[in-house]
Amino acid sequence: MSGAKFAKLTLTALRSNFAELSHPYKLTFSMTYLCQSRCLTCSIWEIKPKGELTLDEIRQFAQKNNYFKWIELTGGEPFLRSDIVEIVRAFKENCKDLFLLTMPTNSLCNPDMVALKIEEMLKMGVPMITITLSLDGYRELHDKIRGIPGNFDKVMGMARRLHDLKVKYPGLAFVFGYTMSKFNTGQLYKTVDEVKKELPWVTFKDFHVNVGQVSDIYYSNTKLDFRADREALAGEIDEIVKKRPLELDSLPIFSKSIIEGAFMKKLVTYVKEDRIPMKSRSLDASLFMDSYGNVYPSIMWGRKVGNIRETQYSLDPIWHGTEADEVRKLIKEGKEPKAWTACEAYQTLVGNVLSLL
């Protein structure tokens, strides 16, 4: 069954190379803007959300839009939603071809509770679940950037729990999500070394690297000063690309090593040249929906194209509406905002498969 779902995801991604899709295959959904972190690179934690989508509303959305094969549940801190397991269940029961579920965590929630909820999700039978543990530096540096004393040690504890769960559930994967900014430029290798002292089984490939970027609708960080010097940042990323091992772990189009390597190479282009490496697949392969039901092309583009509460939770009127068509036109003309984040980059890369060859 999981092989069939993987094949459907792969074929849909391949089809996006040659024609516009009738429906997106990836949903990025911010379930809540609640967050306990106090990050120097993000102001989500300052939002006091009211009127976020209820579990019943999310169930209606999942029922009426049952074609997603890849769902990213994000926040804020996703595990601050006490109903997170039921949210996953709603998508799992309705999206019959769901293959991949991804979500980040700051590791600040009760670790026993988080591990229990992840195990409940795994028992539902989602073929692949990937958890990203936010980690932006070695012990003192991470705690400073995240604004929470002891956060580094909580990340290490969460990693140990997930490592134990992986033995029982081979469909579980996790990585450390390292966001580069002026606060940690040049510190990745020191961070990896410190993590290896705590977790000897960790290797460099267990780190996913991103660059801190600006979004008014997601990070709410347009007024923050965190972006690193471009030359220094590009040099560090170049070094990472050269040292990153290449491993073919599945069909080439969805090999984690190939996609991550391609993502990093394009990240160098983005940093060095201050431009979008390639036209995105936003509002074709994917979309971003916030916790109030507002639909956007991506987490980086505050061009609202609709709200599911206004369409009885059906995405179709929004997806095929004039506002979405106008956004697609702007993308074709190269007029989308300059950004390169994993939330949109991966489906952009597999939607431009020749760039991976």
- List the Cα angle 185/163/142 in 5-degree steps: 25
Note whether 275 and 338 are within 8 A (CB): yes
- List the Cα angle 108/69/155 in 5-degree steps: 15
CA–CA distance, 263 with 277 (Å, rounded to integer): 10
For residue 74, give its domain range: 2-18+25-356
Interval 330-348: pLDDT, tens: 999 999 999 899 888 889 8
State how many domains the chain has. 1
Ramachandran quadrant class, 125 (left: phi over 0; alpha: psi -120 to 50; beta: rest) = left
CATH number at residue 331: 3.20.20.70
Structure tokens of 136? 């932006």
Interval 118-150: pLDDT, tens: 999 999 999 999 999 999 999 999 999 999 999
Q: With bands split at pLDDT 50, 70 and 90, how would you rate the model's confidence at 251?
A: very low
**Comparison of pLDDT for 171 and 255, the residue scoring more:** 171
Interval 33-48: pLDDT, tens: 999 999 999 999 999 9
- List the Cα angle 156/161/164 in 5-degree steps: 125
- For residue 130, list its beta bridge partners: 102, 173
CA–CA distance, 227 with 211 (Å, rounded to integer): 8
CA–CA distance, 290 with 75 (Å, rounded to integer): 9
CA–CA distance, 27 with 72 (Å, rounded to integer): 6
**What's the average model confidence in pLDDT over 238-244?**
81
Q: What is the pLDDT of residue 259?
A: 80
Which residues neighbour 349 within 8 Å (Cβ) at sequence distance 6 or greater?
A: 259, 262, 263, 266, 278, 355, 356
